[in-house]
Amino acid sequence: MISLIYLNYDEQEAGKVPRGSNQKFKLYRLAQIMMEQTDDDHYITMPEIIEELAKYDVTADRKSVYADLRDLSILGIEVEGEPIGNRYHYHVVSRAFELPELKLLVDAIQSSKFITEKKTNRLIKKLETLVSKYDAQELQRQVFVSGRIKTMNESIYYTVDAIHNAISENKKIKFQYYQWNVKKEMELRHNGAWYHISPWGLSWDDENYYLVGYDSEAEQIKHYRVDKMLHIRMSNESREGKEYFKKLDMADYAKKSFGMFRGKEQTVKMQVDNRLAGVIIDRFGKDVMMIPTDEEHFTVKVDVHVSRQFLGWIFSLGEGIKIVGPEEVVNQMKAECERLMGQYQLPQ
């Protein structure tokens, strides 16, 4: 609600004020001034508002500004006036986003590997327009928290948009896929062959964006790093693999695939130190069943895609965790241990 106080005004004086050349932008400029220069801690007086409007070649008087401030509520901009000393001070009291919410969005954008540095800065600049210039400084400081590795594929926005369009149109997509070589050059995989995939969803894992789709030729679900997809186009063919995705939980799929690397899905039983209970819950969720085996350990069974990435995760937790079944996975871990010992064996 706008709280404004009308002051005495001489109606005859209104006709003596020359109109500026940009009068038609008056309400827009007033909204811009209030949004940029005021917040819960920063106010602006009526003379200052009129002075700021004049910088845009917009003339104004007190009575018209009062009316315009009321009209801002139609645009969703709520302004309040508070008496401080012998003057009223005005400020915006509500916005679409609170500053802590925007900080969360900035952090998410900044930490996303699949968004380029250029696009990151552009997005954050747009977010800054949603707060006052004072609060925008806090968002700017957020940008320099850390220099994370970012993708160099500028077309990712259009790739994501193309994927969503294909899903909406129930069509397959075609694209080429690349990797980096030792010369730091983009190198098309499979000699530039086109991938023909039925897109069913997108997954964000380990700060990367993945397309999850059905490969009809291989007759299986596969995933692809979105920032490594090139020259994407929609196919005329309808999507396939619906029966697979009807029973696929995308969140569960990402949880089972460590780093989105695939492997044979198996139920793995592990013995874990109690001190690592939080690690297990963080990875597999609170619904995971942890059965005490003694005062210091518990066992847990989880469904995972057994890959080197999963085994590497087990290695990273040291002696606090041990795979105890099934035997096939235990043997895979033993083989991986032997491989590493051979790889790092000191020369005789």
**Quick one: pLDDT band at residue 6, thresholds 50, 70, 90?**
very low
Q: Is the pLDDT of residue 41 over 80?
A: yes
6 part of a folded domain: no
Per residue in 201-225, pLDDT (tens digit) is 888 776 678 888 999 998 888 889 8
β-strand 297-306 against 290-292: which pairing, if any?
antiparallel
Instruction: For residues 164 and 225, state if they share a domain.
Output: yes
Q: Is the distance from CB of 22 to CB of 57 less than 8 angstroms?
A: yes
49 part of a folded domain: yes
Q: Is the distance from CB of 69 to CB of 4 less than 8 angstroms?
A: yes
Instruction: For residues 55 and 104, state if they share a domain.
Output: no
149 part of a folded domain: no
Which residues, 6 or more positions from 144, have their beta carbon under 8 angstroms from its beta carbon? none
Identity of the amino acid at 199: P
251 φ, ψ (degrees, to nearest 5): -65, -40
Greater pLDDT, 283 or 103: 103
Instruction: For residues 219 and 243, state if they share a domain.
Output: yes
Nearest one of 116, 306, 133 to 209, comparing CA atoms: 116
Within 10 A of 332 (CB to CB), how many other CB atoms are there? 20
**Quick one: pLDDT band at residue 177, thresholds 50, 70, 90?**
very high
Domain enclosing residue 205, as ranges: 156-248
The total of structural domains in the chain comes to 4
**Quick one: pLDDT band at residue 13, thresholds 50, 70, 90?**
very low
State the average pLDDT over residues 253-259: 59
82 part of a folded domain: yes
Instruction: For residues 51 and 106, state if they share a domain.
Output: no
Q: Is the pLDDT of residue 331 over 90?
A: yes
Instruction: For residues 113 and 88, state if they share a domain.
Output: no
The counts of H helices and E strands in the chain are 12, 13
> CB under 8 Å, gap of 24 or more: what pairs does 259-262 form?
259/205, 259/206, 259/309, 260/203, 260/205, 260/206, 260/208, 260/210, 260/223, 261/305, 261/307, 261/308, 261/309, 261/310, 262/222, 262/223, 262/305, 262/307
Question: Where a domain ends, among 190, 221, 248?
Answer: 248
27 part of a folded domain: yes
DSSP 3-state assignment of 219?
A: coil
137 part of a folded domain: yes
Per this entry, what is the length of the chain? 348
Is the C-alpha dihedral spanning 66, 67, 70, 75 positive or negative?
Answer: negative
84 part of a folded domain: yes
> CB under 8 Å, gap of 24 or more: what pairs does 335-341 form?
336/308, 336/311
Q: What is the pTM of this model?
A: 0.58
Instruction: For residues 173 and 121, state if they share a domain.
Output: no
Q: Is the pLDDT of residue 257 over 70?
A: no
Instruction: For residues 160 and 236, state if they share a domain.
Output: yes
Per residue in 128-148, pLDDT (tens digit) is 989 998 888 888 755 544 455
- At 38, which CATH number? 1.10.10.10
Q: Is the distance from CB of 244 to CB of 221 less than 8 angstroms?
A: yes
Instruction: For residues 37 and 56, state if they share a domain.
Output: yes
Instruction: For residues 209 and 186, state if they share a domain.
Output: yes
5 part of a folded domain: no
Mean pLDDT for the chain overall? 82
pLDDT for the residue numbered 193: 94
Instruction: For residues 22 and 88, state if they share a domain.
Output: yes
Instruction: For residues 65 and 110, state if they share a domain.
Output: no
- At 326, which CATH number? 3.30.70
pLDDT for the residue numbered 219: 86
Question: Where a domain ends, among 248, 266, 289?
Answer: 248
Q: Is the distance from CB of 127 to CB of 89 less than 8 angstroms?
A: no
Q: Of 7-16, 59-68, 91-100, which range is least confident?
A: 7-16
Q: Is the pLDDT of residue 14 over 50?
A: no
Instruction: For residues 163 and 242, state if they share a domain.
Output: yes
Please tell me the distance from the alpha carbon of residue 186 to that of residue 250, in angstroms, as a whole number.
30
Question: Where a domain ends, among 200, 228, 248?
Answer: 248
State the average pLDDT over residues 70-84: 86
Nearest one of 97, 161, 91 to 127, comparing CA atoms: 97
- At 166, which CATH number? 2.30.30
